[in-house]
Amino acid sequence: MSTPLRGAIIGFGNVAERGHLPAWLARGDMEIVAVAEPDPARRARAGELLPAARLHGDPGELFREAAALDFVDIATPPALHAPLIVAAAAAGLHVVCEKPLVVSVSEYHRVRDAVREAGVVLFTVHNWKYSEPFQRVRALLDADSIGPLRSIMLETIRDGCARSARVDWRMSAGLAGGGILVDHGWHGFYIMLGLARQRPRAVRAELARQRYLTADVEDSAECTVVFPTVTGRLVLTWAGSERRTRWLLEGRDGVIEVDDDRISVRRGERVESFVCSESLSDGSHHPEWFGRVLEAFRRELVDPAVRGENLSEAGQCIQLLSLAYTSHANAAPAPLVPAAAG
């Protein structure tokens, strides 16, 4: 058996502990041997769960030991992603990074160029694509179960934003890069791209504060993405009274509806329903999905033919995100999405 690849987690908050670490511990081909975390309490928690790991209070300390590593898993607030990715690339380390990959198009170009120059993989955690509900819906579309797709509606209702282990960084534009459009909208963008399989043409968005009235980020958003033959719509809020995720896909010949773990397919008078073993609203961390993310990350490490596919998808997501904020600021549809993200 080959020696496992050695990695480090940077940022040991809730998503690292509850979403990432269980999947890393379940693997035999990759292992976490170090953690960088500035908060002493969280660093101590990492030591409890990873007693053999080297613990660092600063990522710079970790990068100085880069010769002992093969990759890093970045799970910090979004505004810290770009400089950490650039530093990891300079140290010759592959990177798996929480979404959103970055919070601006200029940051995307910066990290893309850095990993290309270094010859390392940069892979964003687009974990909802690896959920059972998404995979089943994608298979239904591939089987032409509702005919050519015409519209996609993705609704995410949450009774508040996800809690952080330390400071509530999701309420700070300086750390989060934005509100629910950054947090849940990024998921919606790559889900739409994976379902429509077309390059978007224009974006229209309206943002609001309905619960967190004193925050400097939005807690609710509606966003329309126009594709050549498909119209996509995101409806997002942290101001709901329940936790629910609902998707509605309309085709020429029928409709697919996803309500958390239940999928229904309607064609005329015929309705077929089934229940998935996984729910889209069951918790915030989804370690089982992250395990599948790691399989895809590993494929990019070993197969040059698929390397860069995830990074290109992340490039489209940051374009859509940036255009959505531009649309809201101008109260008008944003300009057409450029032909390629790079």
| pLDDT digit string, tens, across residues 200-223 | 999 999 999 999 999 999 999 999
What DSSP element (H or E) covers 56?
Answer: strand 54-56
What was the pLDDT predicted at 340? 45
Say what the pTM is: 0.95
What was the pLDDT predicted at 166? 64
Q: What are the phi and psi torsion angles at 249 (to 5°)?
A: -115, 125
What was the pLDDT predicted at 310? 97
- Please name each of the domains of the chain with its CATH number: 5-127 (3.40.50.720), 130-289+317-330 (3.30.360.10)
Burial group, residue 193, by CB count within 10 angstroms (0-12, 13-18, 19+) = buried
| pLDDT digit string, tens, across residues 293-333 | 999 999 999 999 999 999 999 999 999 999 999 999 999 98
| pLDDT digit string, tens, across residues 32-74 | 999 999 999 999 999 999 999 999 999 999 999 899 999 999 9
What was the pLDDT predicted at 171? 84
Task: Select from 134, 211, 216 the least CA-distant residue to 174.
Answer: 216
